Amino acid sequence: MRDFLHQCLYGKIAKVKIFQGGSNRVDHRNINRRTFLKLSTAIAATTALPFVPGCTPARQEADRTVDVAIIGAGLAGLTAARQLVAQGIESVLVIEAQDYVGGRLRDVQVNDTTIIEAGGQFIGPPQTRILELAAELGVETYRIFEEGDAVYHLDGDTTRFPPYDFAVFGEYDRIRLMLDGMAQTVPLGAPWNAPDAEMLDNMSFGDFLDANLSDPIARDLFDIISFSILNAFPPDLSLLYVLFFIHSCVDINTLVATEGGAQDSRFLGGAQLVPIRMAAELGEERVLLQSPVRSIHHDDTSIQIVSDRAVVDAQYAIVAMMPSIIRNITFEPSLPDQRQGLIENWPISGDFKVNVVYETPFWREQGFSGFIGQSDRVAASFGYDNSPPDADVGIFVTWPNIGADPSLADPDNRREAVLNSIAAYFGDQALDPIDYLEHDWTDNEWIPACVSPVGEGLLTQYGPALLQPVGRIHWAGTETSPIWNGYMEGAVRSGDRVAEEVAALILANR
């Protein structure tokens, strides 16, 4: 068990484990790593080909048979597995492509006592399911630091303002209230059924702002909010999607706020602790790492999942990942047109996250909270004090906007621009960090996206397929959640929902 926990956390495997025969028995064999990688690559090369009718290999003899196979060991997949087991459906297997659990939750050790999160990190009081789950798993939370002034930086001038006093942002509040009101008309379970859905979906958020807002400062703030939350600027986002997203997360204030909002708190020990503890609870026999699923064969009676390290027969499959990544899996027979269209057209958007580590959170001594509310320095146009609760070190977190300045694509330029920006806000001490940790999610083959900047037309054309099971294949992942869509909360809720769906089908036939 200790090896397994170590593997979940650090993503290293000491031994390759393969499943044998039709039983649930795990056989540990030492396979030469080079042979294993050659085999995996060969399988990947054949099965990653686009589906051509008649060319997909027929079903094979399975290594293992389970009631439910879950693809993806992110929060959604692990929650689904945990809920199924809790309902007495103990024969489940979570199959994960990567060598760690948590997916978009990934912690990085800064020193002996401090971690930072390369992926998801913030949680807040309205996100009740993730908080409840964390409490059950013994993962504690703490409030982020926010005493002191926030910063607004434009044309070289730094202005201090009390956190979330948006009075300085001109027309911002008028448009915020207008958007909040419109968002309430979008049904959470089916945004494509909103009144005027087609019209709203064929208009970009940028078109809406252009038509309703002339104040450049307020517009700039909406651009930054849009980039910080959806990793895209208003012209690239469907207005219907933005309204759905706002409604899904209560309202704009809740989305952007620290205290009481989405950035209220963090997990002590890191957000990845939640999936790690779920995997530990499920046990080694129910989680198979480093085994990308390449194809899913399905018919009226059963499912077969072909992954690099096991062929698994199951009664039901749950695919728990971002829709765009599902395009790496070949389905036999192929998926209905609307579902296929959803997968092919769902956006992929990478993300850079930078944590700069200092001896101390020196900005606090100058009365700054560390929160950058808005800045025209695109290397760090917003950011937070991300220090641990004991402030053992000072950490500032930010997200460079490479789209707005292509020179930031160069790592040296990026680092220099990030440090210069922090120095512009808090002084030259910012130029001497003790560590600079950056995570490039575009590098990750299995998670090349953090959020879903859904563009015009997608929701009304393909949205209804998001939740619709295809025979025995069911869908989960934060992108399927009507509540806190895109967040950890949405992932957990989608795991709850899909487990209930599949458990009802299995229990009805027992």
Ligand X SMILES: Cc1cc2nc3c(=O)[nH]c(=O)nc-3n(C[C@H](O)[C@H](O)[C@H](O)COP(=O)(O)OP(=O)(O)OC[C@H]3O[C@@H](n4cnc5c(N)ncnc54)[C@H](O)[C@@H]3O)c2cc1C
103 is a site residue for ligand X (CB under 6 A): yes
At closest approach, how far in Å is the CB of 202 from ligand X?
Answer: 27
Containing H/E element for 504? Answer: helix 488-508
Bridge-partner residues for 266, per DSSP?
A: 122, 142
**Is residue 4 exposed (0-12), middle (13-18) or buried (19+ Cβ within 10 Å)?**
middle
Amino acid at 337: D
At closest approach, how far in Å is the CB of 495 from ligand X?
Answer: 7
Selected binder of ligand X within 491, 499, 502, 503 (CB under 6 A): 491
Residue nearer to ligand X on the CB measure, 221 or 447: 447
Say how far apart CA 80 and CA 477 lie, in whole Å.
10
Residue nearer to ligand X on the CB measure, 76 or 134: 76
Residue nearer to ligand X on the CB measure, 105 or 218: 105
Selected binder of ligand X within 225, 312, 320, 466 (CB under 6 A): 320
161 is a site residue for ligand X (CB under 6 A): no
From 154-162, 166-174, 414-422, 442-450, span contacting ligand X (CB under 6 A) = 442-450
CA atoms within 13 A on the CB side of 32: 4
488 is a site residue for ligand X (CB under 6 A): yes
Say how far apart CA 456 and CA 461 lie, in whole Å.
10
Selected binder of ligand X within 249, 321, 465, 503 (CB under 6 A): 321
Question: Tokens at residue 59, please?
Answer: 């079903």
From 141-149, 220-228, 378-386, 443-451, span contacting ligand X (CB under 6 A) = 443-451
**Would you say 246 and 486 are in contact if contact means Cβ atoms under 8 Å apart?**
no
96 is a site residue for ligand X (CB under 6 A): yes
Are β-strands 149-154 and 115-117 bridged in parallel, bridged antiparallel, or unpaired?
A: unpaired
Selected binder of ligand X within 110, 242, 329, 393 (CB under 6 A): 329
At closest approach, how far in Å is the CB of 509 from ligand X?
Answer: 27
From 101-109, 154-162, 191-199, 282-290, span contacting ligand X (CB under 6 A) = 101-109
Selected binder of ligand X within 397, 487, 493, 502 (CB under 6 A): 487
Residue nearer to ligand X on the CB measure, 98 or 315: 98
**Would you say 375 and 152 are in contact if contact means Cβ atoms under 8 Å apart?**
yes
119 is a site residue for ligand X (CB under 6 A): yes
Containing H/E element for 311? Answer: strand 311-320
Under DSSP, is residue 115 helix (H, G, I), strand (E, B) or coil?
Answer: strand
As a whole number of Å, the end-to-end CA separation of the chain is 32
- Within residues 191-220, the interface with ligand X by CB under 6 A covers none
At closest approach, how far in Å is the CB of 329 from ligand X?
Answer: 5
Of 292, 414, 432, give the one whose Cα is nearest residue 358. 432
Residue nearer to ligand X on the CB measure, 126 or 394: 126
Residue nearer to ligand X on the CB measure, 166 or 446: 446
Selected binder of ligand X within 24, 128, 158, 328 (CB under 6 A): 328
Residue nearer to ligand X on the CB measure, 353 or 364: 353
446 is a site residue for ligand X (CB under 6 A): yes
Kindly give, in sequence order, each residue whose CB lies less than 8 Å from that of residue 322, ignoring residues fewer than 6 positions away. Answer: 346, 447, 449, 452, 477, 478, 479
Selected binder of ligand X within 8, 68, 69, 73 (CB under 6 A): 73
Residue nearer to ligand X on the CB measure, 85 or 476: 476
**Can you list the alpha helix ranges (DSSP code H) found in 73-151?**
75-86, 128-136
At closest approach, how far in Å is the CB of 389 from ligand X?
Answer: 17
From 28-36, 237-245, 279-287, 315-323, span contacting ligand X (CB under 6 A) = 315-323
Say how far apart CA 427 and CA 198 lie, in whole Å.
49
Per-residue binder mask for ligand X (CB under 6 A), 265-294, x = binder: ---------------------------xx-
At closest approach, how far in Å is the CB of 296 from ligand X?
Answer: 10
Residue nearer to ligand X on the CB measure, 63 or 96: 96
The secondary structure of residue 113, as a DSSP letter, is S
98 is a site residue for ligand X (CB under 6 A): yes
From 119-127, 214-222, 243-251, 427-435, span contacting ligand X (CB under 6 A) = 119-127
Of 437, 355, 336, 421, give the one whose Cα is nearest residue 394. 355
Kindly give, in sequence order, each residue whose CB lies less than 8 Å from that of residue 191, ignoring residues fewer than 6 positions away. Answer: 197, 240, 241, 243, 244, 459, 463
**Can you list the alpha helix ranges (DSSP code H) found in 337-478?**
337-345, 411-426, 458-462
Number of residues that bind ligand X (CB under 6 A): 39
**Would you say 401 and 376 are in contact if contact means Cβ atoms under 8 Å apart?**
no
Say how far apart CA 398 and CA 228 lie, in whole Å.
9
Selected binder of ligand X within 9, 66, 70, 74 (CB under 6 A): 74
Cis check: omega of the bond before 333, within 30 degrees of 0: yes
Residue nearer to ligand X on the CB measure, 213 or 348: 348
The residues binding ligand X (CB under 6 A) are 71-77, 95-98, 103-105, 119-123, 292-293, 320-322, 325, 328-329, 351, 353, 441, 446-447, 450, 477-478, 486-488, 491
